Amino acid sequence: MRKLLSLLAGLLLLGSCYAESKTTLHDFRFWSSPERTRIVIDTDPGAGFSINQEENQLTLNVRHAKLLKSTYKKLFFKDQRILKTRIKRNKTTYQFKFKLNNQYQVKSYTLKPNNKYKHHRLVVDLYDKLAKKPVITPEKVDKKITQTKQKTIILIDAGHGGEDPGAIGQKRTQEKRITLSIAKKLAKKINKTRGMKAILTRKGDYYVGLSKRIRIAQANKASLFVSIHADSVANRKASGASVYTLSKRGGSTKFARRLERSQNTSDQFGFNERSNSKDQYLNKILWDLSRKDRDLQSQKLGTKILSQLDKIGKLHKKKPQKAGFVVLKTPAIPSVLVETAFISNPQEERRLNNDKEQDKIANAIYQGILSYYQ
């Protein structure tokens, strides 16, 4: 009996030791945007952590942690907020000390695994503290109004970014990189056009919430909203470009509904953008007021872009399709989502990685925009 009790006690002790050393830090990732720096750590479930901030230093303590060699190499990240990273081990607790350029608002939370990430994630965001708004003089107001009248604002949205890679091709091409490259080429062409100005929802590899992309368009009084993507399906033979406009009822086809599910998932990247009842009531009013004209103009814009894309390659659908994409819900602004090609198709993946082909795609969208205004 004593031997049995001793054996059980030993097993319990062994299990306790295993539980304490169980949390493996599988990966570190950093994303830097104009308003924040995001730190993401892939962990085992139940990771215990705490955060301390003193002056210009942030200390992240992860208890009972095991740090992989491959993870260690990814820790030493620098940007406009993080100047230096140091690691200190105190028994089974790892201390990650980040020397900061300033004091920042810190938010932290954990995310569960999903269809894109197999591990649990510990997320730490460093937000710039809001500066006091400058006093706007009458001259500045007049100048701003004049500039707005002179320029037609085109909002270019590079799909995905940061924690959200988007679709991934057979050669591991990430959709987020392709969309940003084409968006920048398109913006450059627009900004060389007299009377037009392009604004990008993102200029680098960081994630922008779906509803925030809409707010950027509204804040800049955009006349058009063009979201750029590269689709992926199980069938590698699927090919060609498509253009989508907004449908309040959701996708008009099974294919469109599948696209909605893949493009509208923002909460898995640390964003919760559900609207409250007041927002829903306001959205209904805005929808009723702007729906008819916006839908007609969006269809017109989509048709013009498709006719130009048809000149440089194959079309997957010859007419604009309808789907309930969140980023297209910009009241009173004609909005389209362009699926430039299928990144899941090996031939089209190679095309999307080609700089000259990217320029052709950007130019086709640009010519479609010009044709829309003519």
CATH number at residue 105: 2.60.40.3500
Read off the pTM: 0.76
Find the mean pLDDT for residues 97-109: 94
Residue-level pLDDT at 146: 45
What is the percent of the chain where pLDDT is above 70?
74
Which helix H or strand E contains 342, and what residues bound it? strand 335-342
CB 96 within 8 A of CB 60: yes
Boundary (domain end) residue, out of 72, 105, 127: 127
Angle between helical axes of 355-373 and 277-309 (0-180°, round to 10) = 110
Q: Which of 255, 270, 242, 264 has its CA nearest to residue 329? A: 264
pLDDT-based confidence at 288, cuts 50/70/90?
low
| Residues 115 and 153 both lie in one domain | no
Determine, yes or no, domain membership for 31.
Answer: yes
CA 263, 265, 267: angle at the middle one, nearest 5? 155
| Residues 212 and 240 both lie in one domain | yes
| Residues 289 and 336 both lie in one domain | yes
| Residues 85 and 161 both lie in one domain | no
Of residues 245 and 239, the one with the higher pLDDT is: 239
pLDDT-based confidence at 145, cuts 50/70/90?
very low
Give per-residue pLDDT as tens, 14-30. Answer: 444 444 556 899 999 99
Determine, yes or no, domain membership for 2.
Answer: no
Determine, yes or no, domain membership for 10.
Answer: no
Determine, yes or no, domain membership for 8.
Answer: no
Give per-residue pLDDT as tens, 48-88. Answer: 999 999 889 999 999 999 888 888 889 999 999 999 999 99
Determine, yes or no, domain membership for 324.
Answer: yes
Q: Which of 70, 75, 67, 97 has its CA nearest to residue 30? A: 75
Q: What is the tally of structural domains in the chain? A: 2
| Residues 85 and 155 both lie in one domain | no
Boundary (domain end) residue, out of 98, 127, 156: 127
Please give the mean pLDDT across all residues of the chain: 81
What is the percent of the chain where pLDDT is above 90?
55
Give per-residue pLDDT as tens, 328-353. Answer: 566 578 989 999 999 999 999 999 99
Residue 278 has pLDDT above 60, yes or no: no
Task: Give the least confident one: 36-40, 49-53, 62-66, 113-117.
Answer: 113-117
Determine, yes or no, domain membership for 301.
Answer: yes
pLDDT-based confidence at 210, cuts 50/70/90?
confident
| Residues 259 and 360 both lie in one domain | yes
Of residues 247 and 266, the one with the higher pLDDT is: 247
Find the mean pLDDT for residues 291-299: 78
Burial of 225: CB neighbours in 10 Å, binned 0-12, 13-18, 19+? buried
Angle between helical axes of 355-373 and 175-191 (0-180°, round to 10) = 50
| Residues 325 and 177 both lie in one domain | yes
Residue-level pLDDT at 18: 43
CATH number at residue 150: 3.40.630.40
Boundary (domain end) residue, out of 99, 127, 155: 127
| Residues 205 and 329 both lie in one domain | yes
Of residues 328 and 105, the one with the higher pLDDT is: 105
| Residues 67 and 197 both lie in one domain | no
Neighbours of 78 (CB within 10 A): 13
Determine, yes or no, domain membership for 13.
Answer: no
Q: Which domain holds residue 164?
A: 138-373
| Residues 249 and 282 both lie in one domain | yes
| Residues 143 and 121 both lie in one domain | no
pLDDT-based confidence at 192, cuts 50/70/90?
very high
| Residues 122 and 156 both lie in one domain | no
Tokens of 214: 């809409």
Residue 109 has pLDDT above 60, yes or no: yes
Determine, yes or no, domain membership for 235.
Answer: yes
